[in-house]
Amino acid sequence: MNEQTETRKQEHIDTVLGEDVSAKGVTTGFERFFFEHVAVPEINLDAVDLSVRVLGRRLDAPFLMSSMTGGTEQARHINQCLAEAAQHLGVAMGVGSQRAAIERPELSDTYRVRDVAPDILLFANLGAIQLNYGYGIDHARRAVEMIGADALFLHLNPLQEAVQAGGDHDWSNLLTAIERLASALDVPVAVKEVGHGIGPQSARRLADCGVAAIDVAGAGGTSWSEVEAFRQADPAAADVAHGFAGWGLPTALALIDSVNAVPELPIFASGGMRNGIDAAKAIRLGATLIGTASPVLDDATRTTEAVQSQVSRMIEQLRIASFSTGSINLAALRQATLRRVSDWSFVEPLTGGLPGELSRPRLSRRQESRNR
């Protein structure tokens, strides 16, 4: 490991902040759902309880500041701001890939946050692909011990590696390596994608490997093929990467399918999660935690207060969404009436009309009588 890794990590931060790296032609899918508004909720808004237990820990709200960065001086500041905000709000946090610090121990301090966040649910992080390139249980333990983590994220990023200059290409037999690590590590092992989604078949295979949680990290937010496209010096390689800007499973679809495939595991929803209303929809669809990253990255380059303000808005939106569905807590929210846009039963296609054309609402017999 040399200065190239530190340079790459700084370029990742600069690219996400300075370029349009959002997914193109694909959305999270949450816009296809809406809650039935409850006009008489019969509960006190101030009594709505958003707490949740995850991997044996209690959180005040079901949010995770998803893995972002580490390995640079700017990353140190970012992680400290994220951690301080997480401590104050009672939410979880993950650090970025710790490979840089595993191979250059002098970078370890850029990941350490326990001095400002002693109580948070904290995830260490390594690239799963490194298990095919010489990493094993010792490296995973070092990552966990380095930051005093409660759990370890293994991140999956095959598309990013495929379009990255010098990326790791051998993904053969990786599930076997994940299974060995999950059975040997002393803390829970969770697996996450980086923005292209985990589908039901992959979720089932990962669950069978013994992982403790899955973050589907679907499409609709930041596209890491776009990030790598902007980093490519070769225009042809950049064009190849740009071609995948719309690649991936929408977050809502990945969530629904993974919850159905592995109902025994906590499933986290991240990937384009930018407000508390979509967070409420995700929880209704089976998510245990809601991950957010790029929406708070710019705030984290500035101050803890900026991060705290941004995440607090999402938490308050989730609280009001729960209240507006008559849900006193997250268990009740998971039972709230959620509809697909295509399920609008109060309109019907006109007979002989154009496809998708909608008629006026049907009138009751009493209304028809009044109109005569």
Residue with tokens 């290409």: 169
For the cut 90, the answer to whether the pLDDT of residue 5 exceeds it is: no
Calculate what percentage of the chain has a pLDDT beyond 70: 90
Task: Provide the pLDDT confidence category of residue 140 given band limits of 50, 70 and 90.
Answer: very high
For the cut 60, the answer to whether the pLDDT of residue 349 exceeds it is: no
For the cut 70, the answer to whether the pLDDT of residue 350 exceeds it is: no
Angstrom distance (rounded) from CA 273 to CA 123: 19
What tokens does 243 get? Answer: 């071609």
Angstrom distance (rounded) from CA 223 to CA 22: 5
Task: Provide the pLDDT confidence category of residue 352 given band limits of 50, 70 and 90.
Answer: very low
pLDDT at 341: 84
Please report whether residue 14 resides in a domain. Answer: yes
pLDDT tens digits, 51-64: 999 999 999 999 99
Please report whether residue 367 resides in a domain. Answer: no
What tokens does 81 get? Answer: 């701001």
Average pLDDT over residues 318-342: 95
Average pLDDT over residues 330-345: 85
pLDDT tens digits, 11-25: 888 889 899 999 999
Angstrom distance (rounded) from CA 103 to CA 107: 9
Please report whether residue 353 resides in a domain. Answer: no
Please report whether residue 371 resides in a domain. Answer: no
Angstrom distance (rounded) from CA 243 to CA 246: 8
Angstrom distance (rounded) from CA 296 to CA 66: 10
pLDDT at 326: 98
For the cut 80, the answer to whether the pLDDT of residue 35 exceeds it is: yes
pLDDT tens digits, 265-284: 999 999 999 999 999 999 99
Contact 196, 241 (CB under 8 A): no
∠ CA 114-119-123, nearest 5°, is 65
Question: What DSSP string runs through 253-283?
Answer: HHHHHHHHH-TTS-EEE-SS--SHHHHHHHH
For residue 333, count CB atoms less than 10 angstroms from its CB and return exposed for 0-12, middle for 13-18, buried for 19 or more.
buried
For the cut 60, the answer to whether the pLDDT of residue 363 exceeds it is: no
Task: Provide the pLDDT confidence category of residue 4 given band limits of 50, 70 and 90.
Answer: low
pLDDT at 367: 42
For the cut 90, the answer to whether the pLDDT of residue 115 exceeds it is: yes
Please report whether residue 280 resides in a domain. Answer: yes
Calculate what percentage of the chain has a pLDDT beyond 90: 85
Residue 345 to residues 36, 336, 338: CA-CA distances in angstroms? 12, 18, 13
What is the value of pTM for the model shown? Answer: 0.90
What tokens does 273 get? Answer: 């999660």
For the cut 60, the answer to whether the pLDDT of residue 356 exceeds it is: no
Into how many domains does the chain fold?
Answer: 1
Contact 191, 131 (CB under 8 A): no
The CATH code of the domain that includes 133 is 3.20.20.70
Contact 287, 236 (CB under 8 A): no
Angstrom distance (rounded) from CA 134 to CA 192: 20
Contact 25, 158 (CB under 8 A): no
Q: Between β-strands 92-94 and 189-193, what pairing exists: parallel, antiparallel or unpaired?
A: unpaired
pLDDT at 347: 36
pLDDT tens digits, 197-234: 999 999 999 999 999 999 999 999 999 999 999 999 99
Bridge partner residues of 186 (DSSP): none
Please report whether residue 361 resides in a domain. Answer: no
Residue 119 CB: number of other CB atoms within 10 A?
10
pLDDT at 230: 94
Angstrom distance (rounded) from CA 345 to CA 209: 43
Contact 282, 290 (CB under 8 A): yes
3-state class percentages of the chain: helix first, strand second, coil last, to nearest 5 = 45, 15, 40
pLDDT at 343: 58
pLDDT at 199: 97
pLDDT tens digits, 158-204: 999 999 999 999 999 999 999 999 999 999 999 999 999 999 999 99
**Which phi and psi angles does 194 have, rounded to 5°?**
-115, 5
Q: Could you tell me which residues come within 8 angstroms of residue 198 by beta carbon, excluding any fewer than 6 positions away?
A: 156, 191, 192, 206, 214, 215, 216, 217, 218, 249, 254, 258
For the cut 80, the answer to whether the pLDDT of residue 30 exceeds it is: yes
Angstrom distance (rounded) from CA 256 to CA 292: 18
pLDDT at 195: 95
Average pLDDT over residues 34-62: 97
pLDDT at 297: 94
Residue 74 in 3-state DSSP?
A: helix
- What is the span of the domain harbouring residue 116? 3-343
Task: Provide the pLDDT confidence category of residue 239 given band limits of 50, 70 and 90.
Answer: very high
Please report whether residue 230 resides in a domain. Answer: yes
For residue 60, count CB atoms less than 10 angstroms from its CB and return exposed for 0-12, middle for 13-18, buried for 19 or more.
middle
Please report whether residue 19 resides in a domain. Answer: yes
Mean pLDDT, the chain, integer: 91
What tokens does 74 get? Answer: 């700017």
